[in-house]
Amino acid sequence: MKRVILTLTLAAAPLIVQAAEFDVEIHNPTRGLYYTPLLVTAHPPNMKLFEAGEAASSELQAMAEGGDIMPLVTALDSAGATTVANPAAGLLAPGETTTAIVNTNNATANTQLSVVAMLLPTNDGFLALNSLTVPTLPGTYTYNLNAYDAGTEANDELRGSGAPGQAGMPVPPPLDPVLGTNGTGAASNAEGYVHIHRGNLGDTDTTGGKSDIVSTLHRWLNPVTRVTVTVK
């Protein structure tokens, strides 16, 4: 099984200059998507949460299918990363913003910034900033993030539990009254690798059709997130 934390290089580490503390503001600019609890982490450059085009780890799968960031947190903590888990204290609704204060405590190896969270409603879609080198000069830096598909679950776009390995989307209370029911399934096969998300298909039949997603509310075009990093 592919590990989240990539292997260390054997060469002696060079002297690294980095920001010891910085703010990470995360804004949800979408009309109808919710973010599950966010994970913000500063980590060494020999670590990545995923590689596009490769199979997702079990830790990434847990986050992308059910919004569970704790397996990722555990893996990152064991490698000495600095993590801020769930800065919004729950779901981040459309139009809302939250901020994580990242203090690396002068851990000079933690030069890379990653941000992830599941997107709802999706089967295994997630927003991601994947191993960005943290700017060293004071200032404000803005990044627009695309949505990724973990490739671990078919995008059937149907209500479900959100448990890894089980079909269907998790449906927390804000989404329950605005999703359809009794869909037959928009897709039946998982892709098997991480890739840029194609977006929700949805339909306008709230009591049938292929999808339980409402196309007029929950379709999107990338980007799906704006991240602003402020180096002090």
Question: CA–CA separation, 26 vs 33, rounded Å?
Answer: 14
Question: Which DSSP helix (H) or strand (E) runs through 35?
Answer: strand 34-35
DSSP 8-state code for residue 176: G
Measure the CA angle with vertex 62, ends 84 and 172; round to 5°: 85
Question: Which DSSP helix (H) or strand (E) runs through 74?
Answer: helix 70-78
Question: CA–CA separation, 227 vs 222, rounded Å?
Answer: 14
Question: CA–CA separation, 197 vs 158, rounded Å?
Answer: 17
Q: List domains and CATH numbers for the chain.
A: 19-232 (2.60.40.2130)
Residue type, 181: T
Question: CA–CA separation, 162 vs 41, rounded Å?
Answer: 24
Q: What is the pLDDT along the chain (232 residues), one digit of tens a residue?
A: 334 543 333 333 444 456 689 999 999 999 999 999 999 999 999 999 999 999 999 999 999 999 999 999 999 999 999 999 999 999 999 999 999 999 987 667 899 999 999 999 999 999 999 999 999 999 999 999 999 999 999 999 999 999 999 999 999 999 999 999 999 999 999 999 999 999 999 999 999 999 999 999 999 999 999 999 999 8
Question: Which DSSP helix (H) or strand (E) runs through 216?
Answer: helix 215-218
Structure-token pair, residue 150: 């973990």
Phi, psi for residue 38 in degrees, rounded to 5:
-80, 150
> Which residues, in sequence order, are CB contacts of 7 under 8 Å at separation 6+?
46
pTM across the whole model: 0.91
Question: CA–CA separation, 189 vs 175, rounded Å?
Answer: 24
Question: CA–CA separation, 46 vs 51, rounded Å?
Answer: 12
**In terms of DSSP bridges, do strands 125-133 and 112-120 run parallel, antiparallel, or are they unpaired?**
antiparallel
